[in-house]
Structure 1
């Protein structure tokens, strides 16, 4: 772990503060002065590391996307269970879901670079779905983009409604387990898991 005064530690504090700020306020509502204060640094230091608020958001969202991908691991042959893992991740980390959604709401897609991490991740998943169709693991009548978008929407369907879950921890756990089962069942009906011999 780098010393608290090192450039790496300062950068890490800025990213952690920015993650919390973007989750709460979005990109437009986020304030660099609040990020600097939470990171125990100056506004000028934040801009020394990151050229703009949007550049800072893009790095935070890229890191969040990497964490989601690593935690959930899409298997095109078992999309129902993948949807369940996404549901679990978003239920455990609603702030990370919000960070990603703000980008979809606020960033101009026409100003997004071709090598944008979100686009690159989507392209990779689409290619894996196409290959699964060629291999006979997924119904070929579906367009892969429809599979991916429907799957993501179903998996994230409860991420914005977690306030409906009971406050009692045991009841909440049971409630979310039932919601997970509903997500998995819905995806299974659309995109059944392949039964490999």
Structure 2
């Protein structure tokens, strides 16, 4: 059976996004250079602008793709939030660039330019939590959006700790870190 070969435009766009991921995760939007991204993608600045319109357009497309890919890899399950948080933790461990990229987005872009696709995903997840609360599956101790935020931040706890804090918890092994996330979310839900 023949394998699928993406059209050249799709392949170039994918190479630019991959190169942009590494550049933006390392230095953020403000310090990133389109020339470096183009060179890393075996392309050039003109191609990046052709596909994404601007450096900001490339950054926004990358952040949106990252969130979409994350939610595809870790399907949301309001009825099993502790396990979902553990899976989200695992995804951050498997993608060490992801927490950095999302932090850069939060610091440099989110307040002035919220991404509609990410707002839509957050709204969908919040609605699922609200539905589970109304069905009695989840406690109503927190508003749906607050509960979602707490769960997401607990899942990202280990990937967002500072280097000054890391020595204090260095004895917590990788498998135990995941379990800490699961247990913390379970405790939050009163389980």
Shift in alpha-carbon separation, 1:129–1:179, aligned structure 2, 3 A: same
1:141: how far off? Answer: 3.1
Contact 2:48 2:58 (C-alpha < 8 Å) held by counterparts = no
Q: Please tell me whether the aligned partners of residues 13 and 39 of structure 1 are also in contact (alpha carbons under 8 angstroms).
A: yes
Specify the alignment match of 1:2 in structure 2. 6
Please state if 1:79 is matched with 2:77.
no
Q: d(CA) in 1 for partners of 2:180 and 2:9?
A: 46
Q: CA deviation at 1:162?
A: 9.0
Q: Unpaired segments of 5 or more residues in structure 2? A: none
Equivalent pairs, count: 183
Aligned partners of 1:79 and 1:192 also within 8 Å: no
Aligned to 1:11: 13
Aligned: 1:120 with 2:124: no
Summarize the Cα distance change of 1:72–1:136 in structure 2 as closer, same or farther, 3 Å threshold.
same
2: CA distance between counterparts of 1:108 and 1:140? Answer: 28
Shift of residue 142, structure 1, vs aligned partner: 1.5
Deviations along 1:100-159, one digit per CA (max 9) or x if unpaired, are 22111111524335xx11111100000000100110101123111110111111110001
What are structure 1's unaligned runs of at least 5 residues? 166-170
- With the length of structure 1 as denominator, give the TM-score of the two structures: 0.85
